[in-house]
């Protein structure tokens, strides 16, 4: 003998409605600013920080699958990359022997040092991060104002950084600055 279908459907409907009401309540708490504070003077909760970081990692890996330019790590490429890095990146990300700007410590999340970025990110992922930027981090989408070649030059420099001493990086920065004059 089969149980009547009506109580099962009613229970399922009540469960769906309860989930909908809870979801609306949570959304209202977030949108009203009660459950989420946007001030940069307090870090996210551990759970939210983990979720945001996990989402960023997955998004970068998914969108970095396209073909991207790869330039040789020769002196001309590194000089061009160093000039762009000096203008756009060094204040937030530092470099070999170069600290980030003092004010960067007030950003949440704090921008990472990029000296070892090529050990954590593939060539295509670095390109995607620089080209597309990262929402809600202060990392601009440089692809909106830069050529593919310029972004590839910055990626080349970042990939070469682990092989540079602070003195070599300083010499490269001086040579890049001299070229701009």
Task: Give dist(CA 114, CA 99) in Å, integer.
Answer: 11
Instruction: For domain 71-180, give its CATH number from 1.10.287.3510, 3.90.1170.50, 1.10.760.10, 1.10.287.130.
Output: 1.10.760.10
Checking if the pLDDT of 151 tops 80, the result is yes
Parse the chain into domains and list their residue ranges. Answer: 7-34, 71-180
pLDDT, one tens digit per residue, over 52-78 is 999 999 999 999 978 899 999 999 999
Task: Give dist(CA 97, CA 65) in Å, integer.
Answer: 32
Task: Give dist(CA 130, CA 138) in Å, integer.
Answer: 12
Residue 101's CB is within 10 A of a number of other CB atoms, namely 14
- Region 16-20 average pLDDT: 96
Task: Give dist(CA 172, CA 94) in Å, integer.
Answer: 14
Q: How confident is the model at residue 18 (pLDDT cuts 50, 70, 90)?
A: very high
Question: How deeply is 95 buried, as exposed, middle or buried, from its count of CB atoms within 10 A (0-12, 13-18, 19+)?
Answer: buried
Q: Which residue reads 């459907």 in tokens?
A: 9
- Note whether 95 and 161 are within 8 A (CB): yes
Checking if the pLDDT of 29 tops 80, the result is yes
pLDDT, one tens digit per residue, over 99-141 is 999 999 999 889 999 999 999 999 999 999 999 999 989 999 9
Across the chain, the runs of DSSP E, i.e. the strands, are none
Checking if the pLDDT of 30 tops 90, the result is no
H/E segment holding residue 148: helix 148-160
Residues in the chain, overall count: 181
Q: How confident is the model at residue 37 (pLDDT cuts 50, 70, 90)?
A: confident
Q: When comparing pLDDT for 115 and 45, which is higher?
A: 115
Residue-level pLDDT at 62: 93
- Note whether 157 and 82 are within 8 A (CB): yes
pLDDT, one tens digit per residue, over 159-169 is 999 999 999 99
Q: When comparing pLDDT for 2 and 112, which is higher?
A: 112
Helix, strand, or coil (residue 139): strand
Q: What proportion of the chain, given as a percentage, has pLDDT over 90?
A: 78
Residue-level pLDDT at 1: 62
């Amino acid at each position: 003998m089969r149980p009547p279908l009506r109580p099962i459907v009613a229970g399922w409907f009540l469960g769906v409605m309860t989930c909908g009401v809870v979801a609306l309540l949570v959304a209202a708490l977030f949108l009203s600013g009660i459950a989420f504070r946007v001030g940069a003077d307090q870090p996210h909760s551990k759970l939210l920080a983990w979720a945001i970081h996990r989402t960023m990692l997955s998004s970068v890996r998914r969108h970095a699958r396209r073909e991207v330019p790869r330039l040789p790590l020769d002196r001309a490429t590194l000089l061009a990359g160093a000039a762009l890095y000096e203008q756009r990146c060094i204040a937030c990300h530092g470099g070999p022997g170069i600290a980030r700007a003092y004010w960067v410590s007030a950003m949440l999340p704090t921008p990472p040092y990029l000296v070892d970025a090529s050990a954590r990110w593939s060539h295509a992922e670095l390109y995607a991060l620089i080209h597309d930027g990262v929402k809600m981090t202060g990392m601009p989408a440089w692809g909106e104002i830069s050529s593919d070649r310029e972004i590839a030059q910055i990626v080349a420099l970042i990939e070469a950084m682990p092989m540079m001493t602070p003195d070599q990086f300083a010499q490269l920065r001086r040579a890049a600055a001299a070229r701009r004059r």
